[in-house]
Structure 1
């Protein structure tokens, strides 16, 4: 991938190749979970979940107890295809703690003594699971934010800055050893360096809703280089573009009044530039940079739709028809009301969300002959 990036950037100087910010944060989670303390906790938590979920009696008893408590939470093992799966696992454990402990105390369930010891151990719950969540949840929340439909490239700069500050505040009270705390900070910095490019700084600089104080001198110079290269590509006068940038950063001319800065809180950054600042030479560059997605989450969500449309049962669908079905399914989701905050989307189970189309949908979308052919398979 890096070799391909180098070829693209050499051939097209105005293009900057970037990685997926959500995937980068997921790799940070992976780094943290590889630490000895976290790895031990992870294995112990999985041991409890696998035991309870793997036996019919214990699984049914747990669900029954959760139902009596009006809780719909089930125990969830992490999936390698889902970002932040370990956070979902620990969350499901904490939400099922009361039911699990009731089962461990009860004589009628018959839980293994080693598993029972873990479930009834307060150190496991408070000092380990709850403490680890304080470190992991901010990263999971950052993943949920950056993979959302409304996220743009400028959000990455601010997100990493906030994440660093939050993790450094939490680490002294965590269950990690001093050497492991240092490893977490180092891993965060390494992942940030890999993810962040001058184009991120340029987008951040041009986003009116952000304070530009967190940019270093090197990042500012990199942002200038990106804006200049984009101006060349668009055939704009670089002098006028940089002059417009100077007025924007010093709040002169069009940007002198408070009203225009207050308006950016109510519309997207790209719309702000195209609608209110269209007359400025910097506007075409800014509107392009502020429409670039920071992650590949949207395309990866579509992979799930493709997999749930072209299945072993419906394996005679042509590529063209599969694309049409996925297009319809993806666009229908745009009409569904978004009642949950984006930070909770991480908790949802992808396999359940991406369930296969039911028979009625297939009958509506496919010709009768194709439905008959698939039913034969």
Structure 2
């Protein structure tokens, strides 16, 4: 909205100056006031990095490990912009507080775990002690869920953290800077194919589901079939009775 407003600044001011266009004097004064446009420009500078962060996290290339670093970079950028803005000190404090509240709301232990396991963030070191502990908790819980040996999983994690074994060579650390984790994720097309395969496989499965899990439409179709059978039976009975009467 602010981008559009700034793009139309000259047109709006020309319209306000024009005598052929009837504009309220108060509105005209506001449009021609330089303070308005300075404040719009100041607010625009604050909102731009936030809008860019939202666009990145909502994009097709977004991954969990990026969220941690994204918030850290956003906070640093906002704190650099605020001193040059037209906001009061209390307003600057409110902006920083709002950003921190949003971070606390969005960030979950799984983001810390993903960040810890992403080689490209190996030496960034922005995780707090509490976040590291929560990351280990997530990894341990996932090991239990997948039926893996927690000892082996944590042992592999220790080798990764200390660059031992598989992670000892420099080649793997250099390559991770050029390969995105997005390459291994499920794309929309792949998900659609998997759903189609699953739906077709279910056609070959026996109907062992309890009646409570069946679709309502199936029940309605069965009811309509039963009703049709009952009607046929009644018609047959009427014919029999007519024949007996004759």
Structure with bigger gyration radius: 2
CA deviation string 1:258-315 (max 9, x = no partner): 221222233xxxxxxxxxxxxxxxxxxxxxxxxxxxxxxxxxxxxxxxxxxxx99999
* Contact 2:61–2:182 (CA under 8 A) maintained in structure 1: no
Equivalent-residue separation in structure 2 for 1:158 and 1:247 (angstroms): 23
* Contact 1:201–1:223 (CA under 8 A) maintained in structure 2: yes
Indicate whether 1:112 and 2:24 are aligned.
Answer: yes
Q: Which residue of 1 aligns with 2:208?
A: 339
Compared CA separation, residues 194 and 345, structure 1 to 2 (3 A): farther
Alignment equivalent of 2:81, drawn from 170, 190, 205: 170
Once the two structures are TM-superposed, the CA of residue 364 in structure 1 deviates from its matched residue by: 44
Once the two structures are TM-superposed, the CA of residue 342 in structure 1 deviates from its matched residue by: 47
Once the two structures are TM-superposed, the CA of residue 212 in structure 1 deviates from its matched residue by: 3.9
CA deviation string 1:32-64 (max 9, x = no partner): xxxxxxxxxxxxxxxxxxxxxxxxxxxxxxxxx
Compared CA separation, residues 248 and 97, structure 1 to 2 (3 A): same
Compared CA separation, residues 97 and 345, structure 1 to 2 (3 A): farther
* Contact 1:144–1:345 (CA under 8 A) maintained in structure 2: no
Compared CA separation, residues 318 and 203, structure 1 to 2 (3 A): closer
Once the two structures are TM-superposed, the CA of residue 339 in structure 1 deviates from its matched residue by: 50
* Contact 2:119–2:173 (CA under 8 A) maintained in structure 1: yes
* Contact 1:363–1:371 (CA under 8 A) maintained in structure 2: no
CA deviation string 1:187-241 (max 9, x = no partner): 2112211211111100000112254400011111110110011011111111111
Once the two structures are TM-superposed, the CA of residue 360 in structure 1 deviates from its matched residue by: 43
* Contact 2:63–2:181 (CA under 8 A) maintained in structure 1: no
* Contact 2:63–2:182 (CA under 8 A) maintained in structure 1: no
Q: Which residue of 2 aligns with 1:263?
A: 175
Equivalent-residue separation in structure 1 for 2:50 and 2:142 (angstroms): 32
Compared CA separation, residues 250 and 129, structure 1 to 2 (3 A): same
Tell which has more relative contact order, 1 or 2 (C-alpha 8 A, sep 6+).
1
Compared CA separation, residues 347 and 194, structure 1 to 2 (3 A): farther
* Contact 2:143–2:150 (CA under 8 A) maintained in structure 1: yes
How many residue pairs match? The answer is: 244
CA deviation string 1:14-38 (max 9, x = no partner): xxxxxxxxxxxxxxxxxxxxxxxxx
* Contact 2:62–2:182 (CA under 8 A) maintained in structure 1: no
* Contact 1:204–1:212 (CA under 8 A) maintained in structure 2: no
Taking structure 1 as the reference length, the TM-score comes to: 0.46
Compared CA separation, residues 342 and 232, structure 1 to 2 (3 A): closer
User: Residue 206 of structure 2 aligns to a residue in which SS?
Assistant: coil
* Contact 2:75–2:99 (CA under 8 A) maintained in structure 1: yes
Equivalent-residue separation in structure 2 for 1:174 and 1:335 (angstroms): 65
Compared CA separation, residues 332 and 234, structure 1 to 2 (3 A): closer
Taking structure 2 as the reference length, the TM-score comes to: 0.70
CA deviation string 1:319-364 (max 9, x = no partner): 9999999999999999999999999999999999999999999999
Equivalent-residue separation in structure 2 for 1:120 and 1:374 (angstroms): 98
Compared CA separation, residues 322 and 189, structure 1 to 2 (3 A): closer
- Runs of at least 5 residues in structure 1 that lack an aligned partner in the other structure: 1-88, 267-310
Compared CA separation, residues 234 and 317, structure 1 to 2 (3 A): closer
* Contact 2:42–2:85 (CA under 8 A) maintained in structure 1: yes
Equivalent-residue separation in structure 1 for 2:242 and 2:83 (angstroms): 63
Indicate whether 1:155 and 2:24 are aligned.
Answer: no
User: Residue 356 of structure 1 aligns to a residue in which SS?
Assistant: helix
Equivalent-residue separation in structure 2 for 1:357 and 1:93 (angstroms): 66
Equivalent-residue separation in structure 2 for 1:99 and 1:362 (angstroms): 76
Equivalent-residue separation in structure 1 for 2:119 and 2:181 (angstroms): 49
Q: Quote the RMSD (CA, aligned, Å).
A: 16.5
Q: Which residue of 1 aligns with 2:155?
A: 243
